[in-house]
Each structure stands twice: as structure tokens, then as C-alpha cells.
Amino acid sequence: MVNSRIMPHNVDAEKSVLGAIFLSPGVLASVADKLSVDDFFELKNKRVYFALLRLLEKAEKIDFTTISAELASLKSMDQVGVDYLSELVDFTPTLANLESYIEIVKDYSLKRAMISVSGEIYAEGFNPAIDATDYVDQAEEKIFQLIRRRRAGEFLTIDEILREVRKKAEIKRSEGDVTGLNTGFGRLNYLTSGFQNEELIILAARPSVGKSALAMNLAIQAAKNNSDGHAGVAFFSLEMSNEQLVSRMLSYESLVDNRLIRNGTLTPNDWQDINAATQVLNSLNLYFDDTATVQVKDIRAKCRKLKQNGRLDFVVVDYLQLIQEAQARGTRQENVAEISRGLKLMARELQIPVLALSQLSRSVDREKRTPVLADLRESGSIEQDADIVMFMYEPEDETGQSTDNIEILLAKNRQGATGRFMLRFQKNFSRFYPLVEREDE
């Protein structure tokens, strides 16, 4: 049976918007910021609005005569008709309700878009060439774009933006005050003002320095110190299993040696500490995924679902070079470029900070020197996409021996200061503590 239902629309609201423009042509520029030609359903209204936008672009006067001439030049006058155009000119007696008319037109346009997208999703489901994962990811992306379109705000004036900038600038730059995500580390908060939404943060180190442990520390601190302890943190562990990661978290929170937890050689006091730590960790909104063959699109799809449910404030990916390419294309550098760009776009789409771990080149070990941006593996694309690049390395003491101290170097900070500070790494608890910190470079 053929579906004869007509798409949702409100012709009177469309005519009221066009009538308001004829009543006061000066409002057209404002209307043009809020409505596109496709937001109109009635074909005659589409043609009239398109002609009006053409006149606006050419900075010509708007009245019955000029719009008639423009419609004629577009070969649309016969379809619109003189009588209909005359009706529009006299349709709206006042501008008082123009914003309401615009909202009605936008709402019906969004309904039609949702119906169209649903139809596309339905039809694509019968395509044998697409697998289920790609199908669901594409469907979620289309719907999420519509959600963002509905929530999109109007243009902001510089006065409104300046108020927000001044409000943040007035916050005392101490180590307890942040404008972004509280990292739990005072010096890091000071240098970055907290991890900001839409930022891609790269944490890079050589193997066995402790970058996975530091990422775990940041994840726990972010969950504890933001949104009154209800911040949502997604942790993608491509190198360790979920059980290994949570075992380290339990050691971190309970201060019970991780080796004892793994071996099960625990005293009654240890169990008391572990039970208390379990309660704390259970209260946090931490989400884990240890899929070894994950792709950026998989990460984005899972994070998008959490974001839509209001349960995502921070994402950690351990680590970038282990993410699978969607399609192997050319060199490894090109593939990593696609991955880092995908993570940056995810941070912008979901409006959250994303922390991705990365490897450093072997030359840092061979030459025993402080890392630089060029030491990032496949460095060009990662350095370009990242808003913040942090290095961690083990400085040697006077005798040339390694210590438990780890130096953190902010080598790039697009919106803040660079600098360095020291942390003490207690490996048996996978826990980092601040030390007396050095001045900014």
C-alpha cells in the first residue's frame, strides 16, 4: 500500500515569515541567518525566499516590483503567480511574532529531515555491501548531526563572548582554579587551566616510563574532581585488558601493592583497604573498552552514545599507534595522520577533551636527551592535530642513575603556557605524586 501521508509542514508560518520580510525588508538579513531555502516546504515559498536571498546578496531594494523581476529572471514567476505574491505582501500585519514563525518553520523542517534520514537508514539496511558495524555507525552519525542542528544556537555578539572571556580571566590563576576539566594535578591545571573541551591532548613517552599509569591517574582524578564526582570518563585500553587496568586502579586507590593483588597474598588489613577502595571506584562513572582491533569510528560511535546520555566528559585512548586504520592507505605516516585527525574531529564533535597516548622514537633513549616534538612517532600529523603535547621521561641523578622521579614537559600548548614539573612515580601502586615543581620555561 502506497503511503500517501504528506510531510509535516505549516504553510501559514512560512507565509508569515515571507510576509514579515515584505513588511520590513531590514529583517531579511536576520532571517537568512536562521532559515535556509530548504527549511521551507511549499515550493512557491521556496522560490520566493530564494529570490529574496538573491536580492539581499545583490544589496537591492526589496518590494513587489523587484521580487517580481527577480522571480522572472529565475523563470519562477509563472510557478509563483502574481496573485500568490500579492497575498504574501499583505499576509503579515505585524513583526511581533516573527521569531515564533521562524521557530515553527525550523521545527517542521527538522521533523522532515528526521523522516528523510530515517528513510535513508531504513533503505541502507538492505544494502548487502555494508556490515552491521558501519551501518550502525553511519546511522548514529546522521541522527547525531540532526541533534546538533536542533541545539545549534544563534550568532553571538562580541559583547556576549567578551563577558565569558572576562569571567574566565577573572578566575585567580592558582593551582586550585580551572576553567576546563580538573586533572587533579595542580601544576598541570596551572599550565593548562584544565583540559578544555574540543582539545586533543597527546601524552608521549618511551615504553615502561609509566604513560599508561599516568593516563589512569588522570582518568580517576577527572572522574573524582569534576561534575561533583559524577563526570563520565571513557577509557579505551588497546594494550592492557580491562582486568589488568582495573587491578591497577584498585592498587592506586587502596595503596595495596599491585603484585599482592595479582598473587592473592593479601592480609585482612589489605582486604579492608581493598573493600574501601572498591566502594570509591564503584561510585565513579568510569567506562572501559579493551577491544584490541578498535578503529576511530568504533571509538566515536561508543563515545557518541555516552555523550547523548549525558555520561561523557573525558576520553582516554591508550594508545594512538595501536588504533586500527579504517583502510590501509599508503605509508604508516598517512594512516596515523588519518587516526589523529579522526580523534581531533571526535573531540570537536562531542565537545570534550580527548587524551591519546603515543610512542616516542628510540633516539630519545640512544641520545639520553629531553624529548622534542620531532620525536613523536609519525610526528607531523600528530603534532599538527594536537592542542597539547606532553612528554614524560626519567631524568638521571648526578651519578647517571635513574630515579623514581618523572619529569612532565608541556612542549606544546595551543591555548596556554608551556613548562615542566616533576612527579614521583610509586610503581607498586601505579600512583603519581607531585614534587616541588620547577618554574615555567
Q: Tell me how far apart the alpha carbons of residues 31 and 40 are, in angstroms, rounded to a whole number.
A: 12
- Identity of residue 163: R
Q: Tell me how far apart the alpha carbons of residues 267 and 273 are, in angstroms, rounded to a whole number.
A: 10
Q: 222, 182 in Cβ contact below 8 A?
A: yes
Distant-in-sequence, close-in-space partners of 369: CB < 8 Å, separation ≥ 6: none
Burial of 215 (0-12, 13-18, 19+ CB in 10 A): buried
**Geometric angle at alpha carbon 131, from 125 and 137, rounded to 5°:** 75
Q: 432, 187 in Cβ contact below 8 A?
A: no
Residues listed for the chain: 441
**Cβ neighbour number for residue 209 with a 10 Å cutoff:** 19
Q: Tell me how far apart the alpha carbons of residues 438 and 114 are, in angstroms, rounded to a whole number.
A: 55
Distant-in-sequence, close-in-space partners of 179: CB < 8 Å, separation ≥ 6: 168, 171, 193, 194, 196
Known catalytic residue: 378? Answer: no
Element (H, E) at 149: helix 132-151
Percent helix / strand / coil, the chain, rounded to 5: 55, 15, 35
Q: Which of 136, 356, 406 is nearest to 237 (CA)?
A: 356
The DSSP line for 71-113 is: HHHTT-HHHH-HHHHHHHHTT-S-STTHHHHHHHHHHHHHHHH
Distant-in-sequence, close-in-space partners of 405: CB < 8 Å, separation ≥ 6: 394, 395, 422, 423, 424, 425, 435
Dig out the grid coordinates for 341 from the structure: 585527525
Distant-in-sequence, close-in-space partners of 76: CB < 8 Å, separation ≥ 6: 47, 50, 51
- Identity of residue 66: T
Give the distance from CA 83 to its chain's centroid: 50
Active-site choice (60, 124, 198, 239)? 239
- Identity of residue 44: K
Q: Kindly list the catalytic residues.
A: 239
